[in-house]
Chains A and B, each alone.
Chain A
Amino acid sequence: MADTSVVLGEGSVDLELDEGLYPRDAIYGAAYVFIDRCYVLLDRVAGGRIKVALRAKRGGAADSAALAGELQNELLAQAWRRAIAEENRALIEQVTTRALAGAAGPPGLDELLAMDIGEATAFEDPLGIAMSWEEKYAKKKAAPQVDDPPDAQGDPPPEKGS
């Protein structure tokens, strides 16, 4: 049996499809596209096949051959679109998750309060936020040398205890 069979009537089309070839969602999607200009009826027929019956509404397109062609094109497009979406599902989910996480902004007070802060991590300050300005930016003193050299005027260093 052919995968697809078409019966053309006067302003109507009966198309029988193999569900293995066109997923059901693709058939629904294609039917939905025609629902504004045709009366559409789906039915299950023997051998795992689905029948799509289109009948043009009054004043709608009455060229049944064109209607059949459009329906077949739409079925193919829907099936292909779903295959692409399925292939890229992981990527789409990843991008969406990143976008949502970025849109959420910095943590609020509730999130900060909910953070697990234990004794081991409570006093860690890797960014030096808790340091005073002087501690953080003061010029470092030169390390004292073992033998104190005389100062610039050549005076000896003061004696200890004087």
Chain B
Amino acid sequence: MIELRFHGELYDGFAIDEAAKVYGPFGVIDLAREGDAFVARVTVGAAARDQGVDEATLAAELANYALGKTIELRGAGGGHGGAP
């Protein structure tokens, strides 16, 4: 299990919820609010592991999705075209 902590000032709660929904089929993702932080506990599922998905990658992809969605929701994208 990998625990990710997203600071409440820097990440949008809706973005984290959406990331958990998107990556939920690959494992178990528990969300909790602890103080200033949103905490996501990520455990990869057996089926996903059999397909070659490791827990660190799943957690990192979830974190990237949450950040990207947060930036899009805040309208602060760079405008360089470098985003996915």
Q: Which residues of A contact B (CB under 8 A)?
A: 24-25, 28-36, 39-44, 50, 55, 74, 78, 81
Task: Give Cα A14–Cα B73 distance, bound, in whole angstroms.
Answer: 25
Collect the chain A residues with CB atoms within 8 Å of residue B63's CB: 39-41
Question: Main SS of chain A's interface residues?
Answer: helix
The tally of CB-CB contacts under 8 A between chains A and B is: 67
Q: Which residue of B lies closest to A53 (CB)?
A: B63
Collect the chain B residues with CB atoms within 8 Å of residue A74's CB: 78, 80
26 CB < 8 A contacts A-B: A25-B76, A28-B71, A28-B74, A28-B78, A29-B71, A29-B79, A32-B68, A32-B71, A32-B76, A32-B77, A32-B78, A33-B78, A35-B67, A35-B82, A36-B84, A39-B60, A40-B67, A41-B63, A42-B10, A42-B11, A42-B67, A43-B7, A44-B7, A50-B10, A78-B78, A81-B79
Q: Which one of B4, B11, B60, B82 has the greatest number of beta carbons of chain A within 10 Å?
A: B82
Q: Which of B10, B70, B77, B82 interacts with A44 by CB under 8 Å?
A: B10
Q: Which one of A32, A33, A36, A50 has the greatest number of beta carbons of chain B within 10 Å?
A: A32
| CB atoms of B67 and A41 under 8 A apart | yes
| CB atoms of B60 and A55 under 8 A apart | yes
| CB atoms of B83 and A36 under 8 A apart | yes
Separation in Å of the B9 CB from the closest CB of chain A?
6
Interface string of B6-34 (1 = CB under 8 A from A): 01011100000000000000000000000
Interface string of B56-69 (1 = CB under 8 A from A): 00001101100110
| CB atoms of B7 and A29 under 8 A apart | no
| CB atoms of A33 and B7 under 8 A apart | no
| CB atoms of B83 and A33 under 8 A apart | yes
Task: Give Cα A34–Cα B4 distance, bound, in whole angstroms.
Answer: 20
Separation in Å of the B77 CB from the closest CB of chain A?
5
Separation in Å of the B74 CB from the closest CB of chain A?
7
Q: Which residue of B lies closest to A31 (CB)?
A: B67
Task: Give Cα A50–Cα B80 distance, bound, in whole angstroms.
Answer: 22
Task: Give Cα A25–Cα B71 distance, bound, in whole angstroms.
Answer: 9
